[in-house]
Amino acid sequence: MVDDRFLENINSAYSYANTSLLDLLITTHKLPDRLRSLKHYFFLDRSDFFTNFLDLASNELKKSSKLISLTKLQSLLDLSLRQPGSVAASDPFKEDVKVQMNDMALTDWLMQIVSVSGLGEDALSNPGAWTEETPMAQNKDGEEKKSITGNPLPCPCVLI
């Protein structure tokens, strides 16, 4: 019933698509170089730019997270990344590093993750559905949480 030529055509199209995609990722979009760059930012092995960024942005990061200007933080981060003495200045993908503010402090987020138990796959695949209803939406004493700041210790400031 199944024509052998049909299966051969499907397999050759599959092989061609895989080869084309791999070539596109490796050569055109420079995937290995991008992953290497991501590794440097994620693990902060070249953290001189980050220390400089924290120094420049300290006044802005002391504010409440709702009052912080992301545009100003992004400008300060760009200055830090482009500083001639910085190792990140030679990174060809430094334009892809962006600042984003989270609504929740890192410690609260981690505690929320740790306290999750017995949820099905649907609840885990949609974390927005359980963030407000979990017991971690309030402190242990039932008090409302204090507003978070841009201070990197609770770490609402994220580089992506």
DSSP 96: G
Indicate the pLDDT class of residue 137, thresholds 50, 70 and 90.
Answer: very low
Range 139-150 average pLDDT? 58
Please give the mean pLDDT across all residues of the chain: 79
Share in percent of the chain as helix, strand, coil (round to 5): 60, 5, 35
How many residues belong to the chain? Answer: 160
Indicate the pLDDT class of residue 123, thresholds 50, 70 and 90.
Answer: low
Q: What is the pLDDT of residues 1-33, one digit of tens each?
A: 578 899 999 999 999 999 999 999 999 999 999
Indicate the pLDDT class of residue 133, thresholds 50, 70 and 90.
Answer: very low
pLDDT > 90: what percent of the chain? 33
How far apart are the two ends of the chain, measured CA to CA in Å?
52
What's residue 127's pLDDT? 57
Q: Indicate whether this model's pTM tops 0.75.
A: no
Element (H, E) at 117: none
3-state SS string over the chain?
A: CCCHHHHHHHHHHHHHHHHHHHHHHHHHCCHHHHHHHHHHHHHCCCCHHHHHHHHHCHHHHCCECCCCCHHHHHHHHHHHHHCCCCHHHHCCCHHHCCEEECCCCHHHHHHHHHHCCCCCHHHHHCHHHCCCCCHHHECCCCCECCCCECCCCCCCEEEC
Asked whether residue 138 carries a pLDDT value surpassing 80, the answer given is no
Q: What is the pLDDT of residues 82-101, one digit of tens each?
A: 988 887 888 889 899 899 88
Q: What is the pLDDT of residues 36-61, one digit of tens each?
A: 888 888 888 778 888 899 999 999 99
